[in-house]
Amino acid sequence: MSLFTKIITGEIPSYKVAENTDFIAFLDINPNAKGHTLVVPKKEENKIFDLSKEAYTSLMEFSYQVAKAIEKTLPCKRVGMSVIGLEVPHVHVHLVPLNSMADIQFVQKVSLSKEEFIDLAEAISKNF
């Protein structure tokens, strides 16, 4: 069982911003930028291109909706998207509010308090 499956089942807490029957989106707890969000299929699959074409398309549609909510919530030049998948063997899309190229390079990180995570998750969720 992956770390993300444990989040989906509620075994591990998260700062959820959106959810439907097939996908969940929650704030990354080690974010590149404030608002860095992970979009994850509820069905555990290791590689994005092992998803069915329909599941892949649905993941991108859900990610689009989450990105639009992030844009409404946080001032940024754009929301970047990255799919790497090496750190957790469960498909996930990184949505990162971008103001510079450094925001998407997975080198710099920002720190947020628990209260900031809670407030941010609620704000993005309201814009979803």
User: How many Å apart are CA 126 and CA 1, to the nearest integer?
Assistant: 30
Number of domains composing the chain: 1
The whole domain housing 103 covers 3-126
* Residue that the structure tokens 């329909």 belong to: 54
Report pTM. Answer: 0.93
CATH number at residue 94: 3.30.428.10
User: How many Å apart are CA 71 and CA 59, to the nearest integer?
Assistant: 18
The amino acid present at 110, given as its one-letter code, is: V
Q: Tens digit of pLDDT per residue, the chain (128 long)?
A: 899 999 999 999 999 999 999 999 999 999 999 999 999 999 999 999 999 999 999 999 999 999 999 999 999 999 999 999 888 999 999 999 999 988 888 888 999 999 999 999 999 999 99
Q: What is the DSSP string of 48-111?
A: GGGS-HHHHHHHHHHHHHHHHHHHHHS--SEEEEE---SSSSS--EEEEEESSGGGGSSS----
> Cβ distance 57 to 65 under 8 Å?
no
Residues belonging to the active site: 92
Torsion angles phi and psi, residue 114, rounded to 5: -55, -40
